[in-house]
Each structure stands twice: as structure tokens, then as C-alpha cells.
Amino acid sequence: MTELEDLYQEVILDHYRSPRNHRVLEDASHRAEGYNPLCGDRLTVYLKVESGVIVDVTFEGSGCAISQASASVMTSSLKGKTRAEAEDLFERFRSLVTGEGDQADAMELGELAALSGVSRFPTRVKCATLAWHSALAALGQEGNAVFTED
């Protein structure tokens, strides 16, 4: 294992053990439930959007370390972003975890880059992207959205 992989492993375990923004957001303007039947991961993502900007984002749920850590890192990354910026960030994150991204881009993604090791385990990509798909599904419509990986 390289030093970088060690560091990434530490970031994932830290977010899994002490997830950030792991709570119900009472005054959320958008929310979505996400389910990944392959692994059994379940998430609810809550967002509060004001004047087109994500001012708060939280999640709750249960599942594997990858899905929980990814959701935690995502909530930290999305605050202060517009919907377009969130979509752009997801595209870059998605190409990283599917192995299509390059290392230079990974450096700009900060803690999100810690999930890059997922690209070696194709079946875990859905664990890593579940929170993102749920957040974007929530942003795409008013009220409740449900997202299921298939």
C-alpha cells in the first residue's frame, strides 16, 4: 500500500466513524431517499437551498463504510455550492471513482479524492455514488424524491 492509499483509508474510516452532518434537517427544502439494493445501503439526503445556493446539507441512514463515508464527505463538499456546481462536482467525482478521472483532477477534489480507491472495486461504485445521486434527485424536484440504484 502506498502512503497516499494509507491516507485515503484514514480519511474514509474517519468519516465512517464520525460522520459529518449526520442528522435530520428539519427545515430542509429538498430531500430524497436513496437505496442501493446490491449492498443494502439506505440514505436520506436533506438539503436547504436559498437563492439557488445549497446553504445546508445533511444525511441519515445506514450501510457500508464506503456509502456512509462518501455521504459524509459529500455533505462537507456541497455546502455553499449552486446546483450547477454540485452537478459539475459529481461528474468529476464520478469519473474518479469509475477510474475515468486523472490524478491531476483528484488533487483538486480534496477529501473526495479519498474515494478514488473505489475504482478498483467496480461493485462498490454504487455505494460511493448513492448519496450524490440522491442529492441530485432531491435538487431536481420539489418535495420528496426516491432514488434506487439499479
**And the C-alpha cell for 114?**
479519498
Smaller CB separation from Zn ion, 42 or 79: 42
CB of 27 to Zn ion, least distance (A): 29
Instruction: Verify binding: residue 127, Zn ion, rule CB under 5 A.
Output: yes
Point out which span in 1-9, 79-87, 110-118, 120-128 binds Zn ion (CB under 5 A). Answer: 120-128
Q: What's the burial of 81, exposed, middle or buried (CB within 10 Å: 0-12/13-18/19+)?
A: middle
Sign, CA torsion 81/85/86/92:
negative
Cα–Cα distance between 29 and 13 in angstroms, integer? 30
- Binding string, 32-51, against Zn ion, x = CB under 5 A? -------x-x----------
Instruction: Verify binding: residue 28, Zn ion, rule CB under 5 A.
Output: no
Smaller CB separation from Zn ion, 4 or 65: 65
Smaller CB separation from Zn ion, 105 or 149: 149
Nearest to 59 by CA among 149, 119, 138, 141: 138
Residues that bind Zn ion (CB under 5 A): 39, 41, 64, 67, 127
